[in-house]
């Protein structure tokens, strides 16, 4: 038996390279930018728009996990702040942080981090619809913990709204957020089925992960 065959029979996955991680970070940063360029829908007293950015950021965390998802989203935000017109409405530049949507933008990378932490935990324990539900709960939970509170704070500070009024204005984004996280979880579930090793640690065996899932199910 050759060493290659022995490794394959042991079920050891090929280690993920740093180059692959960098490529995925760049691709998902570009994906967020592409969705941000779709026509925004301004709503509320300050005109903070409904966009598909949060869909792509949730998807980024659900697929890439916490640290690569955080890095991809942070790369997108940094590129936008240095002047590339990749925020909603084809805007860019540091001046965006003086606008009413600043809090939402500041939350993006942290939102991807939380969604990614939940996804990494979920893919080790669930399959099928249970995994999809766990991905949704992690994504929407991250939005409620970070995206909405920081967005409310940003509208209050930059839009000169009382916190209560800013919180009321934020409620209009909740239904769309639920829909976007359902869609993100559905797409992420398909990706995890097609590429089951995308969130595996480097060099972790498929058999060891399966054994852990079976043990947790007992």
Tens digits of pLDDT across the chain (218 residues): 444 444 433 444 455 688 899 999 999 999 999 999 888 888 888 889 899 999 999 999 999 999 999 999 999 999 999 999 999 989 999 999 999 999 999 999 999 999 999 999 999 999 999 999 999 999 999 999 999 999 999 999 999 999 999 999 999 999 999 999 999 999 999 999 999 988 875 544 444 444 444 555 55
CB contact set of 133 (below 8 Å; sequence gap of 6+) = 126, 185
CB contact set of 95 (below 8 Å; sequence gap of 6+) = none
pLDDT for 16: 64
Q: What is the value of pTM for the model shown?
A: 0.84
CA-to-CA distance for 199 and 184, rounded, in angstroms? 16
Q: Which domains are delineated in the chain? A: 17-199 (1.10.1760.20)
């Amino acid at each position: 038996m050759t060493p290659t065959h022995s490794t394959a029979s042991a079920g050891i996955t090929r280690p993920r390279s740093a180059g692959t991680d960098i490529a995925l970070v760049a691709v998902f940063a570009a994906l967020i930018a592409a969705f941000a360029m779709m026509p925004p829908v301004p709503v509320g007293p300050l005109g903070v728009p409904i966009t598909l950015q949060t869909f792509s950021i949730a998807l980024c965390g659900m697929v890439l996990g916490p640290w690569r998802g955080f890095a991809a989203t942070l790369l997108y935000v940094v590129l936008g702040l240095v002047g590339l017109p990749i925020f909603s409405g084809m805007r860019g530049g540091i001046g965006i942080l003086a606008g009413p949507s600043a809090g939402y933008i500041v939350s993006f990378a942290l939102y991807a981090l939380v969604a990614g932490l939940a996804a990494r935990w979920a893919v080790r324990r669930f399959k099928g619809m249970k995994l999809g539900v766990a991905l949704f709960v992690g994504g929407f939970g991250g939005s409620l913990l970070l995206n909405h509170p920081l967005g409310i704070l940003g509208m209050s500070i930059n839009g000169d709204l009382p916190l209560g009024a800013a919180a009321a204005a934020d409620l209009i984004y909740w239904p769309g957020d639920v829909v976007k996280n359902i869609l993100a979880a559905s797409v992420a579930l398909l990706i995890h089925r097609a590429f089951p090793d995308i969130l595996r640690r480097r060099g972790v065996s498929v058999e060891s992960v399966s054994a852990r899932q079976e043990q947790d199910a007992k």
